[in-house]
Amino acid sequence: MTAERAIQCATFLLILVGLCGLSAWAVYTYLGGAHVILEVATIALSWGVILLILYVSFKKLEWEWWK
């Protein structure tokens, strides 16, 4: 059970780091640096969607990390 928990946590962290890197790259590449408010809004919106997708996916897989 402990090994399974460690694998789940590692998977979650790797997904978050990977998605964070992708969103940061996309904002840097496509928005440049002229629109600071738009960059912040884009990052917040994309992370909201990403976390919602992760939550729904893990709920469907019946991974309950919050016990």
**Between vectors from CA 18 to CA 45 and to CA 12, what angle results, nearest 5°?**
90
* Residue 61: per-residue pLDDT: 80
User: In this model, does residue 1 exceed pLDDT 80?
Assistant: no
Q: Give the residue-averaged pLDDT of 28-43.
A: 74
The pTM (predicted TM-score) of the whole model is 0.55
- How many whole angstroms separate alpha carbon 51 and alpha carbon 14? 13
Domain residue limits, the chain? 2-58
* Residue 53: per-residue pLDDT: 83
